Amino acid sequence: MTGRPRVAVLDYGSGNIRSAQRALQRAGADTEVTADFDTALSADGLVVPGVGAFAACMAGIRAVRGDQIIDRRLAGSRPVLGICVGMQVLFGEGVEHGLHTEGCGQWPGTVQRLHAPVLPHMGWNTVDAGDGSRLLAGLGPGTRFYFVHSYAALDLPMPPSARMTPPLISWATHGEPFIAVVENGPLSATQFHPEKSGDAGAALLANWLEMVR
């Protein structure tokens, strides 16, 4: 691919989509905020943002067939990036206030409330990059990203019989360790908000766009 990659930002009623769109444009993408199935499916890259409650985000995603879009894109090895709750919904389920909500199921595991003295986890924090991380390439161990969340995935349990290559995981800690980044072939996700993370977030988005090209 030459030129600027075309990136669709999935619009399913979650907030914060315009800031993600602007950050992607600054990082070098032509972007469109859309709920259209074919547009989201055919774009070079798809970003799934998300803020708020897991159950509400899943309801919005299913309403625009976003779970099907993600499935179809990944079946064709077409890049998808989840952000914040847009990352959480990629797991098997979310548990909030005793309510179990089925997620998109791209990864096994449960999103649950963090055990921490102060919630939400809001502000800047460092990430322990996994070896070979492409999203965090060029970003040192002291690099800080902006988080706003009370829930997270604490592990990604691969079944013993699974023949797939385990996803590459990068961790952060707030009260306890939690998954901050997952890189799994065409599927990537961050618990933090790269669009709110200044130069570090811009560098991460540029790294992702290199994977989209």
In the chain, alpha helices (H): 17-27, 37-42, 54-63, 66-75, 85-88, 198-212
In the chain, how long is the greatest CA-to-CA distance? 48
The 8-class DSSP code of residue 195 comes to: G
d(CA 165, CA 185): 9
Q: Give residue for tokens 């976003």.
A: 66
Structure tokens at 94: 């979310």
CA atoms within 13 A on the CB side of 139: 29
Determine whether 121 is an active site residue.
no
Catalytic residue among 93, 174, 183, 195: 195
Q: How many CB atoms lie within 10 A of CB 44?
A: 17
Q: Please give the backbone phi and psi of residue 32, each rounded to the nearest 5 degrees, phi first.
A: -140, 130
Catalytic residue among 121, 149, 174, 193: 193
Q: Catalytic: which of 57, 84, 174, 183?
A: 84
Encoded tokens for 157: 């349990």
Q: Annotated catalytic, 84? A: yes
Whether 195 sits among the annotated catalytic residues: the reply is yes
- Point out the residues that are catalytic: 84, 193, 195
